[in-house]
A and B are shown apart, each in its own frame.
Chain A
Amino acid sequence: AQTVTQSQPEMSVQEAETVTLSCTYDTSESDYYLFWYKQPPSRQMILVIRQEAYKQQNATENRFSVNFQKAAKSFSLKISDSQLGDAAMYFCAYRSAHRGATNKLIFGTGTLLAVQP
């Protein structure tokens, strides 16, 4: 079974600085998708970024980028120029791309990010 691990329960960053959130996963599959979701205090789950495992190029979305290391099964999220609105719980998630697999997301335990003004 696949598992997702986020080893940092809490992180803090100064406004305008850069922070990296860690995520590792365990799978025997070769094809899959990885996601970072953001959950602000409003509780809404918001997709931040996604990565297809077959792509070597790291995904980027404006100030958000990932460092995808397939061999190491690592998928970290870098937030540049942190803003107060980035304060939230961040979840790493895995989804199989295997034929016949279901579309369920497997989540890590989350990292609570605080942004200091």
Chain B
Amino acid sequence: DTAVSQTPKYLVTQMGNDKSIKCEQNLGHDTMYWYKQDSKKFLKIMFSYNNKELIINETVPNRFSPKSPDKAHLNLHINSLELGDSAVYFCASTPMATLTDTQYFGPGTRLTVL
């Protein structure tokens, strides 16, 4: 059984389009994250939600809007896509917003903006 899943795994789109990436975890975790991995493989936190409440927003352009319909899902919507948005986006989850638990990552979504 997949613990943290993301759809799609690959996304190719044109500049200016709006796209969404979905994340689901079946681990019963309370806290979910989005990380961005750029072309140099550098990973950086974007957002975190705990029980559907936003707790981290790391100076991400407001073209990026996370949405958590329930604690098992954290989707990422991106408006007006730019070339610089091309990256791999990872979803992750952890049991709760404590400081002791390991984060489990999804398989990543490779976004290519042409």
A-B CB contacts (within 8 Å), total count: 61
Docked complex: B87-114 residues within 8 A CB-CB of A:
88, 90, 92, 94, 97-105, 107-108, 110
Interface size in chain A (residues, C-beta < 8 A): 26
Q: Contact check, A107 vs B48: say whether CB atoms are below 8 A apart.
A: no
Contacts A44-B107, A44-B108, A47-B102 given; does A103 touch B41 at CB 8 Å = no
- A36-57: CB near B (< 8 Å → 1, else 0) gives 0101001111110010000000
| Cα of A89 to Cα of B88 in the assembled complex, Å | 15
Task: Determine whether the beta carbon of B99 is less than 8 Å from that of A107.
Answer: no
Interface size on B, residues (CB 8 A): 29
Residue of B nearest to A109 (CB): B42
B45: chain A residues at CB < 8 Å are 104-106
19 residue pairs A–B, Cβ–Cβ below 8 Å: A43-B88, A43-B107, A43-B110, A44-B105, A45-B90, A45-B105, A47-B104, A91-B43, A96-B99, A102-B55, A103-B31, A103-B33, A103-B97, A104-B45, A105-B35, A105-B43, A105-B45, A106-B45, A109-B41
A-side residues, CB < 8 A to B, are 33, 35, 37, 39, 42-47, 50, 89, 91, 95-98, 101-107, 109-110
